[in-house]
Copies of this chain bind each other. A is one copy, B any other.
Amino acid sequence: MKLHRILPFARQLFSETVIAGETVVDATMGNGNDTFFLAELVGEKGHVFAFDIQQEALDSTAERLGELNERVSLILDSHANVEKYVDGRIGCAVFNLGYLPHSEDFSIVTKADSTIKAIHTLLGLLKKGGIIAISVYDGHEGGVEERDALLQYVKSLHQADVHVVRYEMINQRNNPPFLIALEKMKDFTSVKQVD
């Protein structure tokens, strides 16, 4: 299959751009699948900062990681506070919006304000040529508002600074997520927005 689903498409972008030894960010730890993937990708000398606001996510991710735990900081805080924990250049960042899969509490979901604040900070930290990938689910309550606010934000990024791609399988049933991928095209520490 050449037309990948969005998860393998995002992982291919990360594999092509992240260098062993780099620092990367999993902004929405969830069950730790992306955390695990990133921990392998950065290698022994790299580091993953993984965020979630639910202890349940940290517990299942720690279990999933096993020996790879030493490459990962599991942080019980909102990704909106990423600047408190991460400094220096990062190689990539990943977001899965919506609620924690298999959670018992579907009322805990990502929100537009904190998602956009985190992306804004991470774009500043991202290396030139680095990728931020965001899986957008809009089927849950508040999902449409988050999606629209996010789209408005990413469309405001200047095309000379950041390339923004929307990648979507458009003939799938059951409201699947689509991907927003950002590539940083210039070295900047503060993101400009255009009208």
Task: For the complex, give the distance between the alpha carbons of A183 and B183 in Å.
Answer: 25
User: A183 and B3 in contact (CB under 8 A), knowing A169-B165, A170-B164?
Assistant: yes
In the bound complex, do residue A166 and residue B159 qualify as a contact, i.e. CB atoms below 8 Å apart?
no
Chain B residues in 8 Å Cβ range of A172: 159
Assembled-state Cα–Cα distance A23/B166 (Å): 31
Known: A2-B129, A2-B183, A16-B2. A163 touches B159 (CB 8 A): no
Residues of the B chain whose Cβ atoms lie less than 8 Å from the Cβ of A182: 3
Asked whether A162 is an interface residue with its Cβ less than 8 Å from the other chain, the reply is yes
Report B-chain residues with C-beta under 8 Å of the C-beta of A17.
2
Q: Say yes or no: is A99 at the interface (Cβ < 8 Å to chain B).
A: no
**Could you tell me the distance in whole angstroms from the C-beta of A162 to the nearest C-beta in chain B?**
7
The residues of B that contact A123 with a CB separation of less than 8 Å are none
Question: Do B171 and A163 touch (CB < 8 A)?
Answer: yes
Q: Which among A74-82, A107-115, A150-158 touches the partner chain?
A: A150-158
User: Taking the complex as formed, is A181 at the interface, i.e. its CB lies under 8 A from any CB of chain B?
Assistant: yes
Residues 114-161 of A contacting B (Cβ, < 8 Å): 129, 131, 151, 154-159
Given A157-B171, A159-B171, 15 more contacts at CB 8 Å?
Answer: A2-B13, A2-B16, A2-B17, A3-B131, A3-B165, A3-B182, A3-B183, A151-B170, A159-B172, A159-B173, A162-B171, A163-B169, A164-B169, A165-B170, A167-B167
